[in-house]
Structures are given as structure tokens and as C-alpha cells.
Amino acid sequence: MNRRYLTTPIYYATGDPHLGHAYTTVLTDTLARYYRQTGAEVRFLTGTDEHGQKMQETAAKKGLAPIELADQMAKSFEAAWKDLNISFDRFIRTTEPEHIGVVRAFLERLWSKGQIYDDVYSGWYCVQEERYWTEREVGADRICPDCKRPVEFVEEKNYFFRMSDYQERLIQHIEDHPDWIVPVTRRNEILGFLKKPLQDLSISRPKSRLSWGVTLPFDPDHVCYVWVDALINYVTASGLLDPDGGPDQPGFTDPGNSWWPASLHVMGKDILTTHAVYWPTLLMAAGLPLPKQILAHGWWVMGDQKMAKSVGNVVDPLALREDYGTDGVRWYLLRDMPTGSDASYTPQRFQARYDELANVLGNLASRAISMIVKYRDGIIPEAAGAGLDVEIESTLSAVTEHMDALRVHDAMAAAMDLARTANGYVDRREPWAQAKDPSRAEDLDETLASLARVLTVLTALFLPATPEKMTALASQLGLKSVPTFEEARSISLGGLRVEKGTPLFPRPDQ
């Protein structure tokens, strides 16, 4: 059985979701829906990252206990994903007892294998990024190189993971698997990063400074570093590890029994190093298989700044949804960002993408269905409907190739091109002229049957991106459900009764 286990990052439960989070989640959802359509059994994981100093401080500022803030935000993320029609199978929260058990068992395993040691750390620390920096990195101004906030000086006992021992193995893995990190620009960045000697990784924080975390199984005075805790969520949700069991539970290393290894981790480029360096080396040390692939996409920017909660320039996907519908938001995100590059959000571009949906796909559906109703009493004619066969075949292959290579925006562009071509076919065939001439009844049947065929194929091609509207379109075409790519090629449509519905993509002011 073809199985796919897909993950989004687990988002910090310090604020509400914005368009950037929505992008990663919609992108992963589109892939999940595509794989399901190809017959794969899919597990799709998302969730919230709820421990760490940033959580503790944000909650304190709001006068809440960290768990109260986490509860509010987990609800907010889960509700947003439901509104955006995200088909996740599991929403994980790092404060769940199951996850805490798995983190402890994972750490215990590293500890018993001698992969963790303690030492004193003295140096610079950024609370916002929850990470240590060297003297050179913070410079004379003592500023975090990532978030540009002042750093703190700390001196404390820490536990370290022997990450440096795995540098060569990791480089070898990346070189042996050219598609492990996609796109290639990001892969090269990681290989560049690995040219410098890899340091060991601090995996703990003293409870005297931070109590909001998972207590280390081998030292009750320390909690696990939030990034290590967070990354392990992917294993927790796979069911690989028994949270109540010790490191030697047989279930731990029985991949046949779980969804591990993940097929694909999807994330933004900001957190590629943690996923492509920390995570695989932790897994190597624990003796577990590595995820099969990592996709690091670009950033949504406003002007020349990354859209981020801390910058205060975020766009609310749910507000856009009020005007343009769930599928309008999904389409914009998928279509406007080339999977690996940055993209700039502007209301004008959003509108232009929505217009494309309405004027090309929506218009085709409405013309074709109206004509079947008008000229054939709503019954799809029993004709070959082969007028667009060549274009349909080449589009199905192109979309498959792009989706398999994780170039979702190219897949969407190819699907939209087919709708554009089909509009051109209507203009060329002039069914309104064919309808006026009784001797051309067969030509008209062929035109209408071809349009019904291409619309059926389009429901399949667009389903991963715009599931709500494609389900509506399939039903307008008289189909019980949206077909798979394979079924769409050969499904027999003659005799089905179509029905005019409300416009698929109405103008936002309607």
C-alpha cells in the first residue's frame, strides 16, 4: 500500500495564525489531497508548539497561565484550519501527555546511548528565537542576528547532544539523496552551512530560568529545549514510540508498526536548519530512519519585510475568506508563490488571482453548463467528446509531473491553462451557431460532450487546491463525486443531467 505521512510545522501558540502559516498548511493540504486522489493512504499532521520561554513570557504579559494561552491558541489554529478546509488527520499539541511521554522516552534513549553530556554554557541567548549565539554572531551591539532584538548573557549548566559527531554522515546523506531537500537552492544552503564545523547542540534549559517545558528524564531540574521537544512531535504522531514505555520497548524501532518515517516535512525556509540538521542528527543518534523529504518554501513578504507577528504586518487569511471564500484564499496562496521563492502579498495581486479563477474556470463552467441546459435540456449528449483529448492528456501528465516534483504552483498554472484552452475551444466551435443549424446537431453534441469531459477533468485537477468548489462543480455536472485523474479520463458522461448552480466564484461584493 502506498502510504504518505505529511507534516506542517507545529506553530507557536503565542498568537493567531496569519497568511504565512496558512500558506504552509494549505500547501501541505493540497499535496495530501493530491496523494489521496492517487490512491495513497495519507496521514496529515499539524498542530501547535506550546512550550518554551516565549510562551511563558507571552502568557505572563497577558496575565494568563501558559496552558491557558496554549488552550486559546490551539483552538484558534484548529478553527482556522477547519475554516480553510484543511484535511488534517491529527492536530498535535506539545502539552499532550502522549507527546511529553514520547519526548522523555526519546531523550532517555539518547542518554542511555551516551549521546548527551552536561557542561556549563556561558554566552548569549535570544529569548525570541530561543537560541544561543556566539560573541561574534551578536556583535558589539549584542543583537540577535535573526530577530534583531537585544540578547541576554547567561551562564548555566546545560545538557548537550553530540551533534558534531554526525556531521559527516549528514553531508553524505544529503549528497546521496539529491532530492532530500527541495528546492535545490535550499539544499545548497544547508550543504554550505555544513562546510563549517558543526557544534554540539544544547538540548536543555535550567528550570530556575524556564519551567514551562518537558522535564528531562535524567535531571528533574532541567527542561528540554523547546526545539527538540517540538521536532519530536513528528515521531509522537507517527505512533512509533510507546509514551509509557522505556527506550527498549520493541515498538520503538518497529517502523512497520507506525507511520514513521515521514514522507515529507513542509516548512518555511526560516526553520530549515532545525529540520535538515538538528532533526536528522537527533534521529541518527536515536537509531531511527530519517524523513524521506523536506520541502522548504519561501516567505510571504510585505514590501521588503517578511510577514511576521513580531513585525506586526500580518494579513488575516480568515478576513480574506469572508470576501473571497475559502477556495479563493487557497487558490491565491498556491498560485501566487513559486514553491521555493518569496512572494509579495498585495490586495491587487490577490484580486487578479481571484479574477483568473472567476473569469477562466468559473466562466467556462457556467457557459458549458448553460449551453447543455439550453440546447440539450440539461442532458450531456452521448457523443465521443474527444475535442480536447490531446490537451487533456498532456495536462494530466504535466500536473502529475509537477505535483510529484512538489512544484505545486506550476501544477496549478497547467490546470488553469487547460481551462483557458477550453474557453478558446468554445469560441472556435461556436456552439450557438451549431445550435441554429439542425444539420450540425452531431457537431453540437460533440462540442457539448467535449466540454462536459474537460470540466470533469478540471474538477479532478483542481480538487486538491479548491476542494469545495470542485465538489460543487462535480455535482452540477451530475457526478456523485469528483473523479480521480484516472477515472476522469474514461468516465462515461453521456446521459448525465447537469444542473445550473450558483456561480462558483461570485464577485466579492455579490
Residue 317 CB, shortest distance to ligand ME8, in Å, is 12
Q: In what order do the strands lie in the sheet with 152-161?
A: 131-133, 116-126, 152-161, 201-202
Contact 117, 162 (CB under 8 A): yes
Cα 449 to chain centroid distance, Å, stands at 36
Task: Return the SS3 of 409.
Answer: helix
For residue 508, cis peptide bond before it (omega within 30 degrees of 0): no
Residue 298 CB, shortest distance to ligand ME8, in Å, is 7
| Cβ nearer to ligand ME8, comparing 297 with 429 | 297
DSSP letter assigned to residue 380: P
Contact 166, 132 (CB under 8 A): no
Residue 412 CB, shortest distance to ligand ME8, in Å, is 17
Residue 65 neighbours by CB under 8 Å, 6+ apart: 59
Burial 283-308 (b: 16+ CB within 10 A, else e): bbbbebebbebbbbbbbbbbeeebbb
Residue nearest to ligand ME8 (CB): 20
Say how many CA atoms lie within 13 Å of 174 toward its Cβ.
25
- Residues within the interface to ligand ME8 (CB under 6 A): 9-12, 20-21, 23-24, 49, 230-231, 233, 267-268, 270-271, 299-300, 306-308
Q: Both ends of the chain: CA-CA distance in Å?
A: 46
**DSSP track, 26-68:** HHHHHHHHHHHHTT-EEEEEEEEE--SHHHHHHHHHTT--HHH
Residue 12 CB, shortest distance to ligand ME8, in Å, is 4
Q: For residues 360 and 358, give the distance between their C-alpha atoms in angstroms, rounded to a whole number.
A: 6
| Cβ nearer to ligand ME8, comparing 166 with 225 | 225
Say how many CA atoms lie within 13 Å of 198 toward its Cβ.
26
Residue 267 CB, shortest distance to ligand ME8, in Å, is 4
| Cβ nearer to ligand ME8, comparing 128 with 394 | 128
Amino acid identity of residue 429, one-letter, is R
**Helix 279-286 vs helix 97-112: crossing angle, to nearest 10:** 70
Amino acid identity of residue 378, one-letter, is G
Residue 15 CB, shortest distance to ligand ME8, in Å, is 8
State the cell numbers at 375: 440546447
| Cβ nearer to ligand ME8, comparing 187 with 469 | 187
Place of cell 508498526: 257
Contact 428, 388 (CB under 8 A): no
| Cβ nearer to ligand ME8, comparing 267 with 416 | 267
| Cβ nearer to ligand ME8, comparing 270 with 487 | 270
Tallying the residues shown for the chain, one arrives at 510
Place of cell 439550453: 374
Residue 95 CB, shortest distance to ligand ME8, in Å, is 13
Residue 232 CB, shortest distance to ligand ME8, in Å, is 8
| Cβ nearer to ligand ME8, comparing 296 with 477 | 296
Residue 455 CB, shortest distance to ligand ME8, in Å, is 33
Handedness of CA 144, 272, 116, 176 (dihedral sign): negative
Residue 54 CB, shortest distance to ligand ME8, in Å, is 9
| Cβ nearer to ligand ME8, comparing 338 with 508 | 338
| Cβ nearer to ligand ME8, comparing 42 with 232 | 232
| Cβ nearer to ligand ME8, comparing 21 with 469 | 21
Residue 203 CB, shortest distance to ligand ME8, in Å, is 14
| Cβ nearer to ligand ME8, comparing 268 with 280 | 268
Q: For residues 152 and 139, give the distance between their C-alpha atoms in angstroms, rounded to a whole number.
A: 13
Amino acid identity of residue 433, one-letter, is A
